[in-house]
Amino acid sequence: MKIKSTDNKEFQLLYDKSKKLIDSARNNVGQMANVVTVLTSFLLGRYIVEQEQRGTERAKYGAKVIDSLSTYLTEEYGRGFSRSNVAGMRQFYMAYRDREEEIIQSGIGQFGRVFEIVQSEIGQLEIAYNKIPFKLSWTHYQVLMRIEDRDERDFYEKEAIHSNWNVNTLKRQFHSSLYERLALSRDKNDVMRLANEGAVPQKPQDILRTPYVLEFVGLEDKASYHESDLETAVIEKMQKFLLELGKGFLFEQRQKRFTFHDKNFYVDLVLYNRLLRCYVLIDFKIDELTHQDLGQMQMYVNYFDRYERIEGENPTIGILLCKRSDEALVDLTLPENANIYAKEYKLYLPDKKLLQKKLKEWLEEEEKNYSEKSKKELSLT
């Protein structure tokens, strides 16, 4: 039956409220189902730990608790409660037990309260969802809880939430050592900000990685290939390349031509970062980095700053992606604050333990330098 226009006006408030209710319920029902799964795992993990603490022989008793509970739950409910799954719930609780008080204080420590919220406040499910300190799926947390370092674990959780990563993307970013690569491109204070806020670019250095990982292009590292091959492979995998670059990147053009004094010049990739509000120019270099490469990039950056940048935009950033960077050559060739960076790329996933070791050594050196500087300042006063 077709609704009359007069009926539309008379019942418009009813229509609007009904639509808002249904849209809210549909948008949040998946989230709430996720929440119930994650909270179930968290609370079961807590029950296991509480039971373990009653045992006199900790190690044997702990194993017995998990085996016994797994057998019981499998008999009661069937699949989903294998020994490894139940042990994973305990591990999840141990990794996130610091959130227990937050769960209790929010009033959702008991499932009755969760369903009460769902039933009585269905039009405001988003409010209820925001009270819960777990925003990802149980499958996400099965990956995260295995990350031992808390700062690193918090970083990947925040990035997965803010960037809406699926589980495969989370795994790829972890195995490509995104946290370590970002941290090695920052100062000590920015490393702490990574754990607390995630990777939100606020200055040019925030978009840099050490190194960039381009394993997805499918080029063998030892095989013979040209710069054009690397560029073409990146273009074909542009979505993954932009993910590797970080937040806020938009693709503008490949081999962008500009003419100056009747000569044509070509930039391999022209991107724009909407968060930094600036152009980002990328050139690929597979041979040894030279001062001519740096001078050419400086010319590209100067051109974009003078002829492409509009009022309100920030200075252009230039990145030379090369097989091997040479920081000494960069420092000698370019003026300070040139906004041009030579960064290495790898065609394979890096050695995570090696990067972790490098990061630890770098942080220790930073701490040592900071202490020496503080002592020197005190002696002067």
Of 31, 159, 152, 147, give the one whose Cα is nearest residue 92: 147
Residues 83, 66: contact at Cβ < 8 Å?
yes
Supply the Cα-derived Rg of the chain in whole angstroms: 27
Nearby residues of 198 by Cβ (< 8 Å), 6 or more positions away: 155, 158, 159, 162
Q: Residue 251 class from Cβ within 10 Å (0-12 exposed, 13-18 middle, 19+ buried)?
A: middle
For residues 228 and 136, membership in a common domain is answered with no
For residues 319 and 222, membership in a common domain is answered with yes
CATH code: domain of residue 239: 3.40.1350.10
**Structural domain boundaries enclosing 237:** 201-350
Assign 3-state DSSP to the chain and report helix, strand, coil percentages, each to 5.
Answer: 60, 10, 25
- Which residue, of 120, 146, 172, is where some domain finishes? 146
- Would you state the structure tokens that stand for residue 314, as one six-digit string? 């920030």
For residues 117 and 183, membership in a common domain is answered with no
For residues 249 and 160, membership in a common domain is answered with no
Angle at Cα 186 formed by Cα 149 and Cα 245, nearest 5°?
A: 90
Terminal CA-to-CA distance of the chain, rounded, Å?
Answer: 87
- Which residue, of 131, 146, 161, is where some domain finishes? 146
For residues 19 and 93, membership in a common domain is answered with yes
For residues 341 and 365, membership in a common domain is answered with no
Q: Going residue by residue through the chain (381 aa), what tens digit of pLDDT does each one get? A: 555 555 566 667 766 776 776 676 666 666 777 888 888 889 889 888 888 877 655 556 667 888 888 888 988 888 888 999 999 999 999 999 998 887 766 555 454 454 454 444 444 555 556 677 888 999 999 999 999 999 899 999 999 998 889 999 999 999 988 988 888 877 666 666 676 677 778 888 888 888 888 888 888 766 678 888 889 999 999 999 999 999 999 999 999 998 888 889 999 999 999 999 999 999 999 888 999 999 999 999 999 999 999 999 999 999 999 988 888 888 888 888 889 999 999 888 878 888 888 888 877 777 777 666 666 666 666
For residues 191 and 298, membership in a common domain is answered with no
For residues 189 and 310, membership in a common domain is answered with no
| 78-91: b (≥16 Cβ within 10 Å) or e | eeebeeebbbbbbb
Rounded distance, CA 318 to CA 280, Å?
6
For residues 165 and 180, membership in a common domain is answered with yes
For residues 268 and 134, membership in a common domain is answered with no
Q: Residue 237 class from Cβ within 10 Å (0-12 exposed, 13-18 middle, 19+ buried)?
A: middle
For residues 184 and 318, membership in a common domain is answered with no
Q: How many domains does the chain have?
A: 3
For residues 165 and 177, membership in a common domain is answered with yes
Rounded distance, CA 338 to CA 255, Å?
22
Residues 280, 268: contact at Cβ < 8 Å?
no
- Would you state the structure tokens that stand for residue 173, as one six-digit string? 């970013």
- Would you state the structure tokens that stand for residue 80, as one six-digit string? 């989903």
